[in-house]
């Protein structure tokens, strides 16, 4: 089957909104190359469970392609049309299984030395598409808050070595009522800007504070799901001939129903949480890795105005069999190692925030939980400086305003 043979009935297995979007753009999809269409269909297939920013990206792409003159679109698609695809790819069910098609396409392009040309064409397309979009106006400056270090009393580790370059290092923060001050700031943000999925809380243990208007994700909240996925992974590892590609496909095709996830009434958030465990590496067994990856994915996919992350102590390094099989009766935590994980994770979160619209106005706060050290980043704060004057968390947060 080739794209020109697509009909409205081709999308009968798609969820309602995704099916309607594909059918509405049927004539466009029929004109695009086989090496390109599945990228759009992959997003159409899960459109009903995507966040608003992701849905807007897909609809904007379809609008961009539709508005191109016929010759413009042909020139844009010629590099994709010129790719030499195998009969296996052409005969695969790329309509109903676009993700699997794209995995096989990637392998084929590498094997046939066509990946460089494909990458150049893709980057050129995305550059032109992004250039066609109007500048995005945010409802408020983006703010990130990272908290880590629970369980650490004394450390020789020098915190915030990378974050200090971008902000002010505060050495005398009063930790009393700091959590309350952070919670009040978060609640004020969601109250002032009640936008779906604009405010996120990611915790490496449990969600400790009720945050109305927030999309909340926690490591402990997914314990039963992590256990089921770990069992699947351990079974795959124990086979006579371990096939990592097959395991990756199995995990990618998991659904909330297949792993016994309770329907929360929010399909987008449910599937997001499942993807953290099926697409991330180490997110199933290390809480700090889970928080770092969840923060990255929330920023990339939902582009929130507010992101609060808290790193809890993770378990110590163990063998893969112990990690996945839970063969130790008692989990031993590593607070010191988790402190370092949290420090680096906070830095990566700040870097990822810089990739989003409004980066010049973004604010960030990283705090050594329960202690007097923190770094604050804001346009009004001089980067690479230190402040040793006493300050409480409310005062520190005010500097981000």
CB 31 within 8 A of CB 73: yes
Pairing mode, if any, of strands 215-218 and 199-203? Answer: parallel
Mutual orientation of helices 98-111 and 244-252 as an angle, nearest 10°?
A: 150
* Tens digits of residue pLDDT in 25-44: 999 999 999 999 999 999 99
Query: Alpha carbon 226 to chain centroid distance?
Result: 18
Write down the pLDDT at residue 327. Answer: 52
Least confident among 119-123, 132-136, 390-394: 132-136
> Rounded CA gap, 49 and 96, in Å?
16
Pairing mode, if any, of strands 374-377 and 363-368? Answer: antiparallel
Q: Is the pLDDT of residue 331 over 80?
A: no
For the segment 121-135, the average pLDDT, to the nearest whole number, is 94
Q: Indicate the pLDDT class of residue 208, thresholds 50, 70 and 90.
A: confident
> Rounded CA gap, 381 and 275, in Å?
37
Q: Is the pLDDT of residue 58 over 80?
A: yes
- To the nearest 10°, the Cα dihedral for 290, 152, 173, 375? -40
**pTM for the structure as a whole:** 0.91
List of E strands, 171-214: 173-174, 199-203
């Amino acid at each position: 089957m080739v794209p020109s043979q697509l009909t409205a009935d081709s999308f009968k297995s798609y969820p309602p909104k995704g099916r309607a979007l594909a059918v509405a753009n049927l004539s466009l999809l029929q004109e695009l190359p086989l090496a390109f269409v599945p990228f759009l269909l992959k997003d159409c297939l899960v459109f009903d469970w995507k966040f608003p920013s992701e849905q807007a990206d897909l609809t904007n792409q379809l609008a961009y392609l539709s508005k191109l003159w016929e010759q413009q679109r042909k020139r844009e698609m010629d590099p994709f049309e010129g790719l030499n695809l195998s009969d296996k790819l052409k005969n695969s069910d790329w309509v109903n299984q676009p993700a699997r098609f794209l995995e096989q396409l990637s392998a084929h392009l590498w094997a046939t030395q066509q990946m460089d040309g494909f990458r150049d064409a893709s980057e050129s397309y995305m550059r032109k598409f992004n250039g066609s979009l109007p500048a995005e106006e945010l409802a408020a400056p983006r703010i990130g808050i990272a908290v880590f270090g629970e369980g650490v009393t004394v450390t020789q580790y020098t915190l915030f070595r990378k974050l200090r370059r971008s902000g002010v290092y505060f050495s005398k923060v009063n930790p009393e009522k700091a959590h309350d001050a952070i919670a009040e700031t978060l609640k004020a943000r969601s109250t002032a800007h009640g936008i779906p999925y604009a405010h996120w809380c990611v915790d490496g243990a449990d969600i400790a504070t009720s945050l109305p208007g927030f999309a909340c994700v926690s490591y402990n909240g997914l314990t039963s799901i992590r256990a089921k996925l770990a069992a699947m992974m351990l079974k795959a590892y124990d086979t006579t001939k371990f096939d990592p590609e097959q395991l990756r496909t199995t995990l990618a095709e998991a659904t909330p129903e297949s792993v016994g996830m309770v329907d929360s009434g929010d399909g987008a958030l449910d599937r997001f949480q499942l993807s953290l465990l099926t697409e991330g590496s180490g997110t199933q067994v290390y809480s700090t890795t889970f928080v770092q990856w969840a923060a990255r994915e929330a920023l990339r996919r939902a582009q929130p105005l507010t992101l609060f992350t808290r790193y809890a102590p993770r378990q110590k390094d163990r063998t893969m069999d112990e990690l996945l099989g839970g063969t130790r009766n008692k989990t031993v935590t590593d607070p010191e190692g988790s402190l370092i994980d949290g420090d680096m994770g906070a830095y990566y979160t700040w870097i990822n925030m810089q990739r989003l619209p409004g980066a010049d106005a973004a604010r960030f706060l990283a705090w050594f939980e329960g202690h007097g050290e923190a770094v604050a980043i804001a346009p009004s704060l001089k980067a690479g400086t230190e402040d040793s004057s006493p300050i409480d968390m409310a005062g520190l947060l005010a500097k981000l305003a």
